[in-house]
Amino acid sequence: MPRDLALLPKAHLHLHLDGSLRPSTVAELAAGAGIAAPMPTGYGSFAAFSATISAAAACMRTADDVVRVLDEIVEDARAAGAVWVEVSMWPGLFAGRLGSDSDTVRTVLDGLQRAGIAHRVGVGLVLAANRGHGPAQALDVARLASGFAGDGVVGFGLDGDESSYPPALFADACARARAAGLPVVPHAGELLGAGSVADAVDLLGARRVMHGVRCTEDPRLVARLADSGIVLDVSVVPSLREHPLPALLAAGVRCTVNADDPLLFGTDLLTEYQRCREQLGLTDAQLADVARTSLEASAAPVGVVAAALARIDAWLGLSGPLGPASAPRGGGSGSPGPADGRGPRPPAA
Give the model confidence (pLDDT) of 264-295 as tens digits.
888 999 999 999 999 999 999 999 999 999 99
- Ramachandran angles phi, psi of 3, nearest 5°: -65, 145
Please choose, from the candidates 109, 99, 93, the residue with its C-alpha nearest in 3D space to the C-alpha of residue 160. 93
Confidence of residue 342 (pLDDT cuts 50, 70, 90): very low
72 is catalytic: no
Q: What is the pLDDT of residue 213?
A: 95
User: Rounded mean pLDDT of 298-311?
Assistant: 98
Question: What is d(CA 244, CA 29) in angstroms, rounded to the nearest whole number?
Answer: 37
pLDDT of residue 44 exceeding 80: no
User: Rounded mean pLDDT of 210-227?
Assistant: 97
pLDDT greater at residue 338 or residue 197 = 197
Percent of the chain predicted with pLDDT > 90: 77
Distances (CA, A) of 185 to 67, 118, 167, 237: 24, 27, 12, 19
User: Rounded mean pLDDT of 127-145?
Assistant: 97
Q: What is the pLDDT of residue 54?
A: 82
Q: What is the pLDDT of residue 52?
A: 78
Q: What is the pLDDT of residue 322?
A: 62
User: Rounded mean pLDDT of 16-24?
Assistant: 95
- How many C-alpha atoms does 17 have within 13 Å on its Cβ side? 33
Q: Which of 190, 217, 278, 296 is catalytic?
A: 190
User: Rounded mean pLDDT of 117-139?
Assistant: 97
Question: pTM of the full predicted structure?
Answer: 0.89
User: Rounded mean pLDDT of 52-80?
Assistant: 94
Confidence of residue 318 (pLDDT cuts 50, 70, 90): confident
By residue count, the chain amounts to: 349
**Which DSSP symbol is given to 299?**
-
The C-alpha R_g of the chain, in whole angstroms, comes to: 19
- Ramachandran angles phi, psi of 108, nearest 5°: -65, -45
Residue 159 CA, chain-centre distance (Å), reads: 11
Confidence of residue 237 (pLDDT cuts 50, 70, 90): confident
Least-confidence region, from 144-148, 191-195, 235-239, 240-244: 235-239
